[in-house]
Amino acid sequence: MISKQNAEHFTWREVCDGWYLVNQPSRLTVLQERMPPGSSEARHFHREAYQFFFVLSGIATLEIDGQPYELHPQEGAEVPPLIPHQMSNLSDAPMEFLVISQPNSRDDRVFVDAPEETWQAI
């Protein structure tokens, strides 16, 4: 059995938390993540990974290809490969969500705000 209490934990952007619920190299990841109010990830896309974001608590703003979508608990959205996106918590409360990536999104992130000639997978 897996839960936040026994999953591998990581931090990102110094204030956000994540837990690997499933971490199959080159196949699939299921992450549970927590974002405090006012936080966001860097705008990026994945060359291969197809992703599904699902809000557990709080309100998320998920920008997909320039269009912002507000997601409430028990709502989700799909992001295909090569589509720029950015998850943000613009609310006054913490937000938790799942992100499911297939194949595993590790080493498949390309930052959009960098010049194209410097794009590299992270």
Residue spans per domain, the chain = 19-97
Instruction: Please give the CATH architecture assigned to the domain spanning 19-97.
Output: Sandwich (2.60)
Would you state the pLDDT for residue 115? 55
**121 pLDDT above the threshold of 70:** no
Token readout for 76 is 């989700």
Q: What is the pLDDT of residues 37-74, one digit of tens each?
A: 999 999 999 999 999 999 999 999 999 999 999 999 99
Looking at every residue in the chain, the average pLDDT score rounds to: 92
Q: Give the confidence band of 120 by pLDDT, cuts at 50, 70, 90.
A: very low
SS3 per residue for 1-66: CCCCCCCEEEEECCCEEEEEEEEECCCEEEEEEEECCCCECCCEEECCCEEEEEEEECCEEEEECC
